[in-house]
Amino acid sequence: MKQLNELTGVVDTTERLTFTFNRKKYSGFKGDTIASALYREGVRVFSRSFKYHRPRGLMCLSGSCPNCMVNVDGTPNLRACVTPLEPGAQVTSQNAWPSPQTDLMGFFDHLGSFLPVGFYYKTFMRPKTMWPVYEMILRNVAGLGKLDPRPEGYQEIEYEKQYRHAEVTVVGGGPAGMSAALAAAGLGARVVLIDENLALGGHLRYHKGDRRPSISPIIPFVNGEASDFTGLARKLSQAVYASENIEVLLGASAFGWYEGNLLGVVQVDRLIKLRTDQLVVATGQMEQPLVFENNDLPGVFLGSGLQRLAHLYGVKPGERAVVVTNNDYGWHVAVDLLAIGVEVSMVAEARRQMPDCPAAAHVRASGVPVLAGYTILKAQGKSSVEAALLIELGEDGAPIPGEDTPTGEDTPGGSEVAVACNLIAVSMGFVPNNALLCQSGAQIAHDPSLDNFRVSSFPPAVLGAGHAVATDGVDSLVLEGRAAGLQAALRLERLDEGIKRQGSSQLIDSQRRLDRARSPKEHQLAFRTLASVPGKSRKKFVCYCEDATEKDLRDAIAEGFDDIETLKRYSTVSMGPCQGKMCSLNTIRVCAHETGRSIAETGRTTSRPPFVPVKLGVLAGRKLEPTRHTPMHHQHLALGAKMMDAGQWKRPEHYGDPHAEVLAVHEKVGVIDVSTLGKIEVFGPDSLPFLERIYTNRFANLKIGRIRYGVMCTEEGVIFDDGVVARLGEGHYYLTTTTSGIGGVYEWLTWWLATWRLQVHVENVTADYAAVNLAGVCARETLAKLTDLDLSSEAFPYLHLRQTDVAGVPTRLMRIGFVGEMGYEMHFPAPYGPYIWQALMQAGAEFGIRPFGVEAQRVLRLEKGHIIVGQDTDALSDPLGAGLDWTVKLDKPDFIGKAMLASRKKRGLREMLIRFEMINPGSVPGEGEQIVENGRFIGRVTSARQSPTLEKSIGMGWIPPEKAAPGTRLQVRVNGRQEDAVVVAAAFYDPDGKRLRA
Amino acid sequence: MKENSVPFRVSALDRKAEHLGGQIEQRGGWRVAAVYSNPETEAAAVREGVGVADISPMRKLALKGKAASALLQETFGEAPEKVGDVLAVEFDDTEVLAVKLVSDEFLILASPGMQQITLEYLKERQDGRFITILDRTAGLAGLVVAGPKSNLVFRKCCALSFHSEDFPSLYAAQSSVAKVRTIILRHDRGEIPAFELFFDRAYAEYIWDALMDAGKEFGIQPFGWQTSQLLKK
Amino acid sequence: MFQLTCPNCGLRNVSEFRFGGEISLRPKEANEQVWADYVYNRNNVAGVQTEWWFHRSGCQRWFNARRNTLNNEVLESKQDEAVE
């Protein structure tokens, strides 16, 4: 198609880009969107509607309606009219088969009466058993695009997240927004200017103005040079780019306002969390559709949509147009259409009085036929517009009642005129785009003089300017933007007095000029007629996303959903991808009209983020999952360890054969990396009283160099964590916690410190120390090769600690035995981890040392009957029932949980943690399985394993105390069967601890 | 000690350095990457874009207690005043930094071989006052992200403002970097913005990967100890 | 995401903090009723209340903040002088 010379589109016709749509080849230009390129190539039907599969074409060209949603390179639901065309893009249509032009599901359009409003609450309900079938069918025919989680042949999208900060953020790069940014930057503020388009300018880019020689001499940045809107846009944007203080984000949509002036901004596949001191919202306005029969037919455009198509992309939208309007803007649209060679067959002006604006004069002088006091009744055509049926309105601008009805709504009176055309431009007024303002807490009220909603008050640190606050007239836009920018900057605390004085006088000046410039008519925003034209038809669409018609709304209101919020929820109007941009105001009008209330009384629905569709991937951002490695991590990998997650840690689950690892510990010597254990040092003169209050145990009699197992409880008396407490010196203790418990324990300890105000310092030294447990009959001999310390049981007994050099590294050696064999827990500075591990493996080689993992440790401790907090205990487990009553010293003056434990003890135990073994040694119940008696639930299994040492299946579980005596027979469910088990005494292995203390 | 091997310390980023072709040297008992390609190329990358280096061997002494400020005063002749302030003091041509983290908590940063400021030295001057002094060298990994584009890397993983007015050189803050608690200390190398990060050593490989991923689009490059020396000049 | 002022680190995103609940006084006497109330019941004020917060991603200190639970406005945050 040849380029029209009047067109000043931003596309670069020298660079051709090819792409496919439904596998067919198309081409466009650099600067095109997918929609503009397809339209230029003759594509008219872009999608099929949500429910009725009606053909839908371009309408708004601004991303405000759902009509052009397509799948691009595997990503569904992208709005083609705001998605820049990339070479090689693979575009496919949605919700249509085989193509949107010939969609076989189009017959749904004839089933409308079977899909009434709220049909999903009423139909497809019975019989209940049929729901899965209904659901499958409904999901196939209704809805939007399909998400393929693993699209073949497409590159995985890299999403990312950014944090940004600004002193003043301006959303909207039109004349008001650019002026605001310039004014704030002029006072030295750090400004971020956001615009969803790929160029600054706002409506000045496609709305060409009055074509008068000069707009106004009062616009300060123009200095009287601008001859048209394009010139003004250029001047302002050049000044913006020249300013060092302004950062411009293009192609970026501010989709939500959050507490603390945080803006969610989406820029292609990037999420920007923009924290700003001051916010200026200059997001412009949105032209609104008119509700008439077949108002969704391809070829029915918003007037501004046609202007965008023509002026931004150089596309001639059609051959013959009918312009339907009720305000001066429609006449500008007519001027633009004439200028690009479109024949305007008719302008239907709803007002009886012809406007005296220059645009109207121009159109009439061009010989275009005009009908005053007319509007559109119906768009005619099969899959695109073929004619517009116009109808006469009454004196008051309202429909003329038909003969048979008093209201005229069913069959209107007045004469009808049919005009052949392939384009219908609807220009019935704008609604301020004030979603961000509403979200931020601005009060919005209906202004009867504008017949529209406007902001009545702003929250702190938020301002609005321009069309977004229902201001009109380009001079006013610039001046109001300027005033808002100055005001925002003046609120910054760091501005010095001189700058503040300068800014204040500029602000007074701008406001004075603004008062003079304000247009007395504010013509563009007038909505003097109904949003809806008469006619009983079912095909008058209010909500394009959800296929909700005016009749649906009337039916819903008749059913009692006459409050605007309930009407929204029941009819789902405004809940689709466009989020009410095209339907919110018309729904309010229909609701007001039907209920006989005023617009102000009807009110509006709450505005919530996101205002524009945001991909879930964008919200998820870059994958950031903090992972912790022990110092010996790579040695485990080299040894062939199978790693597992333990919270954020990576730990060896086993090195190939967990049972062999168990036996190695019992028979030779094993070593396990326990660096993940929480480690805390406690310092200070009040350390002892502090620990006495934290733990249930007594520590007053713990001597230096001694270790004691300790239990911490919550105030509820529930086990919170366990570990050992070693006394290193006067007022100096070393604590270990569980791997997963350390964060909580540290916060718990510091919280009580802040409450009690003791002279204690608590330091989390988990990462400072690597730790291994060297255990087994040959542990002593292995360690003896690396240290000069006397390791004999007399010199270094069980539950003692020694600080000494091991292989030349300062080490804390603790004789404790979680795994049930004699052993040493060695804690040493983390950077020596690889060295010590290597030294131990070398020293133990002659004894057959074997590294063991978490799985072997779990078996070993179960053989010994040791519990794991969090595995064998839950949020109800107290130490009395867990067999740890010996740690609970109720005779201490106070400790956390004492009061509740005392009362639990008084009331008696409800359940106890017992050890059991299965009669069938090969049967291992799953963790969490039920323990039953005569088929009735009496408890649950917390741990169970096959013990290679005992050649038995052993476990732990909670059951009522009366069944807990050793020797009691129980039944445990294993894989759905009940199998016999017997309660045994506390430890399966080495019950008297001889091996442990050896 | 019985077996005749010499203890060596490794940074938590030792393997990363090796995998990236770093030339590993022993310095003061630590294995450190001296250089990856050559110092001039690495320095140029840092001057124009952004680079990252492992500084885990740096000595990190933590002081906590009401009297900690007084102890610093006695040691350095002054102490950082406000939270976030970083004091730089020269000892025989080596710089020691003292960072005020909380009103009663400080971090001292010194080169690994620094003779004057040691744990023992500070403990000797404690004089019975209740100050907890710990050597956190083992527990804290250290990274430096340097170059004019370093703030672009940080804005992808930290919610703080890295604008020079909000975060000047010789200022420190504790915040979350890639979801990990981190001490962030800005310490420019001449004209080159540089941010030192200190965090739980167990996260070192994860943080390294997160920064390399965030910095990919800015051409982030690892640099070694030799390059650091070059950048100091 | 609202912001909270840490008495040490300044204004930060609330995601850096752990919420520690409303402040309450640990009973001194051994009355079961009083203890049950302390352990299990909360005032759940709709309005301004004083709360515990822990700056988990920052200085790792506990402090008290007065916050309006209706709009998340933080009126004051302070840390008691460490007693040593």
Greatest Cα pair distance, chain C, in angstroms, is 42
Q: Three-class SS of residue A217?
A: coil
DSSP, res A750: H
Report chain B's C-alpha Rg in angstroms. 18
Residue of B nearest to C7 (CA): B102
Q: Which of B7, B202, B204 sits opposite A809 (nearest CB)?
A: B7
Take residue A514 and report the two structure tokens written for it: 């603004």
Q: Which one of A763, A768, A842 has the shortest CB-CB distance to B3?
A: A842
What pLDDT, on the 0 to 100 scale, is given for residue B3?
47
DSSP sequence for A927-980: TTPEEEETTEEEEEEEEEEEETTTTEEEEEEEE-GGG-STT-EEEEEETTEEEE
pLDDT at site A22:
92
Compute CA A619 distance to the chain's CA centroid, rounded to the nearest angstrom.
4
Q: What is the 3-state secondary structure (H, E, C) of A966-990?
A: CCCEEEEEECCEEEEEEEECCCCCC
Q: State yes or no: pLDDT of C82 exceeds 50.
A: no
Helix (H) or strand (E) holding C20: strand C18-22
Encode pLDDT of A859-895 as tens digits: 999 999 999 999 999 999 999 999 999 999 999 999 9
φ, ψ for residue A717, nearest 5 deg: 85, 15
| pLDDT band (50, 70, 90) for residue A136 | low
- Which residues sit opposite B145 in a β-bridge? B52, B195
Set of chain B residues whose Cβ sits within 8 Å of the Cβ of A830:
12, 138-139, 201
Under 8 Å between Cβ of A836 and A806: yes
- Report residue A180's pLDDT band, with 50, 70 and 90 as the boundaries: very high
Residues of A in contact with B137 (CB under 8 A): 831
Q: How does strand A320-325 pair with strand A423-427?
A: parallel
Question: Using CB atoms, which residue from A630, A785, A834 is nearest to B10?
Answer: A834
- DSSP state for residue A895 in the 8-state scheme: -
Q: What is the mean pLDDT of residues B121-132?
A: 93
Residues in contact with A866: Cβ distance below 8 Å, sequence separation at least 6, in sequence order: A818, A820
Measured in whole angstroms, the distance separating CA A822 from the mean position of its chain's CA atoms is 52
CB contact under 8 A, C84 and B173: no
CB atoms within 10 A of CB A550: 30
Tokens of A640: 């062939």
Quote ipTM for the complex.
0.96
The letter for the amino acid at A262 is L
Is the pLDDT at A747 greater than 70? The verdict is yes
Q: Which of A41-55, A150-164, B183-197, C23-37 has the lowest mean pLDDT?
A: A150-164
Are the beta carbons of C20 and A900 separated by less than 8 Å?
Answer: no
The Cα–Cα gap between B6 and A808 comes to 8
- Indicate the SS3 state at residue A365: helix
Segment A773-820, tens digit of pLDDT: 999 999 999 999 999 999 999 999 999 999 999 999 999 999 998 999
CA end-to-end distance (rounded Å), chain C: 36
pLDDT of residue B230: 87
CB B82 within 8 A of CB B100: yes
pLDDT of residue A531: 58
Residue contact B10–A622, C-beta within 8 A: no
Q: Please tell me the predicted confidence (pLDDT) of residue A684.
A: 96
Nearest of A855, A842, A949, A863 to residue A655 by alpha carbon? A855
Q: State whether A831 and B132 contact (CB < 8 Å).
A: no
Interface residue A627 vs chain C (CB under 8 A): no
Residues of B with CB under 8 A from a CB of C: 65-67, 83-84, 101-105, 130, 159, 173-176, 181
Average the pLDDT over A176-196 and give the result: 97
Task: Provide long-range contacts, Cβ within 8 A and 24+ apart, for C28-35.
Answer: C30/A899, C30/A902, C32/A899, C32/A903, C35/A899, C35/A900, C35/A903
Lowest model confidence (mean pLDDT) among A328-332, A501-505, A675-679, A955-959: A328-332
Q: How far is CA B60 from the centre of its chain?
A: 8
Tokens standing for A719? 């086990």
Question: What's the longest Cα–Cα distance across chain B?
Answer: 57
Mean pLDDT of A590-611: 90
Beta carbons of A393 and A384 less than 8 angstroms apart:
no
Structure tokens at B208: 């390294």
Whole-number Å distance between alpha carbons of B48 and A796: 60
CA distances from A478 to A183, A457, A475, A685, B97 (A): 10, 21, 5, 69, 51
- Region label for B12, one of left (φ > 0), alpha (ψ between -120 and 50) or beta (otherwise): alpha
B47, pLDDT greater than 90: yes
- Distance from the Cα of C53 to chain A's closest Cα (Å) equals 9
**Amino acid present at A685:** P
Contacts of A44 (CB under 8 A, 6+ apart): A57, A298, A299, A383, A384
Confidence of residue A9 (pLDDT cuts 50, 70, 90): low
Query: Cβ of A763 under 8 Å from any chain C Cβ?
Result: no
Q: Tell me, what's the pLDDT at A448?
A: 81
Q: Who among A190, A631, A807 is closest to B7 (CB)?
A: A807
pLDDT in tens, A689-698: 999 999 999 9
Name the nearest CA neighbour of A318 among A426, A425, A429, A209: A425
The beta strands (E) that lie in A574-731 are given as: 642-646, 649-654, 670-673, 678-683, 707-713, 719-729
Region B184-188: mean pLDDT is 97
Residues A249 and A272 sit within 8 Å (Cβ to Cβ): yes
**Disruptive mutation site among C1, C5, C16 for chain B (greatest number of B CBs within 10 Å):** C16
Give the span between the Cα atoms of B145 and B192, in whole angstroms: 10
> CA-to-CA distance for A490 and A795, rounded, in angstroms?
76
Chains that touch C (3 or more CB pairs under 8 A): A, B
pTM for the full predicted model: 0.92
Asked if C58 reaches chain A (Cβ–Cβ under 8 Å), the answer is no
Check residues A431 and A180 and name the one with the higher pLDDT: A180
The rounded distance, in Å, linking the Cα atoms of A46 and A67 is 7
- For residue C6, the chain A residues in CB contact (below 8 A) are none
CA distance A808 to chain B (A): 5
* pLDDT digit string, tens, across residues A895-933: 999 999 999 999 999 999 999 999 999 999 999 999 998
CA dihedral sign, ordered C14, C15, C17, C22: positive
Which are the contacts of B19, defined by CB distance < 8 A and separation ≥ 6? none
Are C61 and A899 within 8 A, CB to CB? no
Closest by CA position to B126, among listed B84, B86, B66:
B66
pLDDT in tens, C29-79: 878 899 999 999 999 999 999 999 999 999 999 999 999 999 999 999 998
What does the pLDDT read at residue A989? Answer: 86
Distance CA(A593)–CA(A328), nearest Å, equals: 25
The pLDDT value recorded for residue A156 is 77
A668-712 pLDDT, tens per residue?
999 999 999 999 999 999 999 999 999 999 999 999 999 999 999
